[in-house]
Amino acid sequence: MFAVVRTGGKQYRVAAGDKIVVEKIEGDAGASVTLGDVLLAGEGSELRSVEGFTVAAEIIAQAKADKVIVFKKRRRHNYRRKNGHRQQHTILKIVSVGGHTAKSNEGETAQAAQA
């Protein structure tokens, strides 16, 4: 089973056991996170409904990307600026694809039925 999830403004195609590098997500190594913004899900060529669909992941590490050099120059004005930048990112291991979250309406009806 696979899913397409959106996190950090980017989309990733994931399956159970995959490792992906995403924009920084708060949490320590070993913590569990749930990616709830699922855009597409399916198995093989068959697609499924993504209503309430979630993807469970585990944080492997918090790391930094390679350094990017930013160099600005204006010709004939003796203007030169050099900066470096290292983007923070999180390495995730996908634990499971296909968990469902309870909708708020279903939770309210379940509580009303118990009362």
Q: What share of the chain is helix, strand, coil (3-state, %, to 5)?
A: 10, 60, 30
Q: Which amino acid is at 23?
A: E
Give kind and range of the element (H or E) at residue 106.
helix 104-114
The string of DSSP letters for 38-70 reads EEEEEETTEEE--TTEEEEEEEEEEEE---EEE
Local confidence pLDDT in tens for the 115 residues of the chain = 999 999 999 999 999 999 999 999 999 999 999 998 999 999 988 998 889 899 999 999 999 999 999 999 999 999 999 999 999 999 999 999 987 765 544 444 444 455 5
Task: Report yes or no on whether pTM surpasses 0.85.
Answer: no
